[in-house]
Amino acid sequence: MYPNKEQENLFFQHFGACRFVYNWGLENKLKTYESDGKSISRFTLNKMLPDLKSEYVWLKDVNSQSLQDATLHLENAFTRFFREKKGFPKFKSRKNPTKSFSIPQHYDVNFDTQKIRLPKIGWVKTKLHREYEGMGKTATVSITPSGKFFISILVDDGKDQPPAQHFDVNTTIGVDVGIKDFAILSNGEKIGNPRYLKQSLFQMKILQRRLSRKQKGSNNRNKAKKSVSKLHEKLHNQRNDFQHKLSFRLVCENQAIALETLNVDGMLKNHKLAQHIADASWSSFVTQLENKALRYGKTVLRIGRFEPSSRICSKCGYYNRDLTLSDRDWICPDCGTHHDRDINAAVNIKKFALDKQNLIGI
């Protein structure tokens, strides 16, 4: 989005008001629970909003539904905490570089003029990268740390999720993720790891060193911080582009994809490999694979994290207890097969996943 100066100020006013209402709702929830031992719902908080607007008149300049949506986000945060144990909701800081507000309805999209009309803000120049078909639901306006505005519109196209397609041994592929090679496939193909962070690490060190030398609160420090944010954003975009293309290719070429469940949080505690593991971003790649598989009716199979995929011979089943991380290839003492460690692991991942589906031998 490309707002003018007045619209930009209104955007920041919406960001601040939604953050204020979220923190106000969280404070009320905590105080109610401490005094009465009961939780206060978002509907009760919404009924209290008119009194809050009387106390803080500047809230009237903000779209009322955006304020009500802030209490919905708070309710969802508590739901995730109790159901998924994702962490207790925290107060939002104005120093957080990523800000957003939601608009549930009453916005208009004009694809001809490339503009979107938002309540209390007006028509905003927008680069609409594609035209959607369906009913527009919630629109979310956000700002990145580099200062770019984006809008994301949730659309209900009215289509049912496609049923999962039939798969067998020939239409399933095993994928083993790594550091040297990003993905190793059971068909013997190795996909190199682009290592975007390593390529830009020298430039990042220079920019962060410049940032650390700037006086806090100065305009020069804000400029330096924006330069660092732009580089981080570039790395994020490069990594996303690579993973989207690879996940789309795997989903298009196969009916099922077999993956190994990895304890990424535990692996990040290894200080020698933590930077490379974080740069590879395996978790986001798996998430993209699962999302695309649901969209196109494909299946993602998962095996347990303790399955010895690297140590077992994929030909005869011999278990190699002496295999270490530095051994990149080995010869099976029983059948004499020469194994590439990673390809052997990918083949075993596929076998283990299909064995659980009772498809081995078909």
Residues recognised as catalytic: 176, 260, 342
Torsions phi, psi of 311, nearest 5?
-90, -15
Q: How far is CA 141 from the centre of its chain?
A: 17
Is the CB of residue 289 less than 8 Å from the CB of residue 251? yes
Tokens of 10: 């209104």
Is the CB of residue 69 less than 8 Å from the CB of residue 102? yes
SS (H, E, C) 134-153: CEEEEEEEEECCCCCEEEEE
Strand blocks (E) in 224-323:
256-260, 299-303
C-alpha to C-alpha distance for 316 and 334, rounded to whole angstroms: 8
Residue entry with tokens 């608009």: 103
Q: Compute CA distances 112 → 42, 128, 141, 152, 278, whole Å.
A: 38, 10, 21, 18, 42
Is the CB of residue 343 less than 8 Å from the CB of residue 328? no
Query: What is residue 361's three-state secondary structure?
Result: coil
C-alpha to C-alpha distance for 204 and 206, rounded to whole angstroms: 5
63 Cβ contact list (under 8 Å, min separation 6): 14, 103, 118, 119, 120
| Alpha-helical regions (H) of 56-195 | 64-84
Residues in a beta bridge with 155: 136
* Run of H or E residues at 328: none
